[in-house]
Amino acid sequence: MSDQKSNHDTRERILDVAERLFMAHGYEGTSMRMITTGAEVNLAAVNYHFGSKEALLREVFRRRLGWLNRERLQVLDALESEAAGAPLKPSQILEAFFGTLLRIGEDSSLGGMTFLRLLGRTLTEPAEFIRTFFASEYAEVIDRYKQALFTALPDVPKAEIVWRLHFMLGAMSYAIAGTDVLRVVTGCELGDLAGEGTADAVDDPALARRLAQRLMPFLLGGLRAPLPLGLESRTFSLASSSEDDAQAQTPNHLQEKQS
Amino acid sequence: MSDQKSNHDTRERILDVAERLFMAHGYEGTSMRMITTGAEVNLAAVNYHFGSKEALLREVFRRRLGWLNRERLQVLDALESEAAGAPLKPSQILEAFFGTLLRIGEDSSLGGMTFLRLLGRTLTEPAEFIRTFFASEYAEVIDRYKQALFTALPDVPKAEIVWRLHFMLGAMSYAIAGTDVLRVVTGCELGDLAGEGTADAVDDPALARRLAQRLMPFLLGGLRAPLPLGLESRTFSLASSSEDDAQAQTPNHLQEKQS
DNA sequence: CTAAGATTCAAACGAACGTTTGAACTAGGC
DNA sequence: GCCTAGTTCAAACGTTCGTTTGAATCTTAG
């Protein structure tokens, strides 16, 4: 009751409410009045503390992405220095990149499932300033991990790695953002399917752990899939020779079945 | 110059422009005035012909999804009757589901890349009426394909199949919707990476073909990835015994590396 | 030609939007 | 006490939103 609580209190309360509402209704679908009413502050408070609605959104993300970016770079640094020059295994890289992200969902002080879902959903927002913001926020980390994958998979065309990184980002982004979408589409609750009964488990931190356990093998399987026809140029070695990354190397007969 | 062209002309022109603008700016980010100005019709034309902005969006999708749903069911029917009771191969099911979709991108009369990107982007729209609409439009097809995958992979827990179907939908949705996102993030144009030089190839029908060739192996690899730890309950047989679906069955050591 | 229906048009509607204003209130230092 | 800087407040700003209106125009059939 002593320290200047009002400042911090108002700012944080606005950020918390905005985070939740942006997640539920998107950027354009969330009005200043919804935010200020939910945070029980005056309408002018957002513009006073943050300057504008756009700046508020940026601050909502900056508050969380700082930790994420730092952690991602740090984990990758640790892996690379531990490997002492030897190329990393793809599984290690994916675990560092996606595992770090999914750990946010387990820790409410890092944003929890709310921020995780907001992040996944906002990546597909069409507004220009949002794209620009994410491009600058993500550029360094994405580039580091891209290079790490290039080194880990020297015989795979770089274009193919970028495509698959794109696919992996999509699978994860959609998976965390659209849990309710799938629930509606499939007509059954994910928790039930997974054997855990709690109905409103969307915000459950345990969901993040289960999601990670499910998502990681899927992503790794996709990353190490056989190359598309016409691209197995060199010796075919998507999977490295290290023990746990060994994988069958069967050609795929998926393409041109009926077109 | 005889048939009542004005009606058809106005309606189609509105739908075409709305399709493009919804794709570029999202539902909330596209105003009636943007649409009517772009289509060179009066502001009241949309409400006259469609009733409301929401109804317009629904009609934009109904115009295209009819073909898609019909084709997807038809292709699956053909496969199942051809198999004469034998379970389908997962690769066939994925080819039927995602190949049919991606063929839209190659044919501008089915909507082309514009509709494809619109579809991918709209799946993550937060507006409630959009979710409801897609749930009803997709329910039947998704259920049929889900059942087909259950049959094709009898030894895989159904929950796991639903999760991976979810992941696959996400990878594809994001891949077609967010090509420019990746371009910004990675700082390099996808066409260049793929070796094809054309700069503004986002709307190129050939992109759909390339995308399909890249996406399908990734999805299949993810679908057939080893089960997460603690779920290899029965005999481990994610991959069927048929020739082209054979796959190595190595356990994965991804989980619990450092948490 | 004319009456009837379908379509287009300019103009306006009320509501909601993000933002700004200027006064009121709340601290802490002198 | 008063002053100053930081914060909150009610009220209004101008703009844009989706929608509606009623007259004008076009199309078609009798």
pLDDT digits (tens, 9 = 90+) for B176-191: 886 554 554 454 444 3
Q: Scanning every residue of chain A, which has its alpha carbon at the shortest distance from the alpha carbon of B93?
A: A254
CA of A178 to C1' of C25 (A): 45
Domains and CATH numbers, chain A: 1-51 (1.10.10.60), 64-238 (1.10.357.10)
SS3 track for B20-70: HHHHHHCCCCCCHHHHHHHHCCCCCHHHHHCCCHHHHHHHHHHHHHHHHHH
- Tell me what pLDDT residue B192 has: 42
**CB of B9 nearer than 7 A to strand C:** yes
* Protein-proximal positions, strand D, CB < 7 A: 6-12, 16-22, 26-28
pLDDT at A254 over 90: no
**More confident position, A85 or B251:** A85
pLDDT digits (tens, 9 = 90+) for A1-44: 333 344 568 999 999 999 999 999 999 999 999 999 999 999 99
B193 has a chain A CB within 8 A of its CB = yes
The nucleotide lying nearest A8 (C-alpha to C1') is: D7
pLDDT digits (tens, 9 = 90+) for B136-152: 999 999 999 999 999 99
- 């063929």: which residue's tokens? B103
CB of B127 within 8 A of CB of B27?
Answer: yes
The overall average pLDDT reported for chain B is: 81
- Tell me what pLDDT residue B259 has: 27
**More confident position, A242 or B96:** B96
Decide if B222 and A219 are in contact by the 8 Å CB cutoff: yes
Q: Among partner residues A94, A126, A226, which is closest to B217 by beta-carbon distance?
A: A226
Alpha carbons A123 and A99: distance in angstroms, whole number: 18
Which of chain B's residues 37-66 bind strand C, using a 7 Å CB cutoff?
41-45, 48-49
pLDDT digits (tens, 9 = 90+) for A68-127: 999 999 999 999 999 998 999 999 999 999 999 999 998 999 999 999 999 999 988 889
Token duo for residue B141 = 């097809």
Output A13-20 pairs: Cβ under 8 A, ≥24 positions apart. Answer: A13/A39, A13/A40, A13/A41, A14/A39, A14/A41, A14/A45, A14/A46, A14/A49, A14/A50, A14/A56, A15/A56, A15/A59, A15/A60, A15/A63, A18/A56, A18/A57, A18/A60, A19/A60, A19/A111, A19/A114, A19/A115, A19/A118, A20/A114
- Tell me what pLDDT residue A230 has: 65
Mean pLDDT, residues B95-106: 93
- Tell me what pLDDT residue B7 has: 57
Alpha carbons B230 and B159: distance in angstroms, whole number: 14
Q: Among partner residues B26, B142, B174, which is closest to A170 by beta-carbon distance?
A: B174
- One-letter amino acid at B5 equals K
- Tell me what pLDDT residue B126 has: 87
The nucleotide lying nearest B31 (C-alpha to C1') is: D17
Q: Among partner residues A123, A171, A195, which is closest to B171 by beta-carbon distance?
A: A171
pLDDT confidence band for A240 (50 / 70 / 90): very low
CA of B18 to C1' of C8 (A): 19
In A, residues 87-106, which contact B (CB 8 Å cutoff)?
Answer: 91-92, 94-95, 99, 103
Token duo for residue B202 = 């986002």
**More confident position, B78 or A209:** B78
CA of A37 to C1' of D10 (A): 15
Decide if A131 and B181 are in contact by the 8 Å CB cutoff: yes
pLDDT digits (tens, 9 = 90+) for A141-184: 999 999 999 999 999 999 899 999 999 999 998 888 865 545 54
Q: Scanning every residue of chain B, which has its alpha carbon at the shortest distance from the alpha carbon of A257?
A: B95
D9 nearest neighbour residue (CA to C1'): A42
pLDDT at B210 over 80: yes
Which DSSP string do the residues of A162-198 spell out, in sequence order? HHHHHHHHHHHHHHHH-HHHHHHHHTS-HHHHHT---
Q: Scanning every residue of chain B, which has its alpha carbon at the shortest distance from the alpha carbon of A193?
A: B159
Q: Among partner residues A125, A162, A174, which is closest to B170 by beta-carbon distance?
A: A174
pLDDT confidence band for A67 (50 / 70 / 90): very high
Alpha carbons B57 and A9: distance in angstroms, whole number: 41
Mean pLDDT, residues A45-64: 97
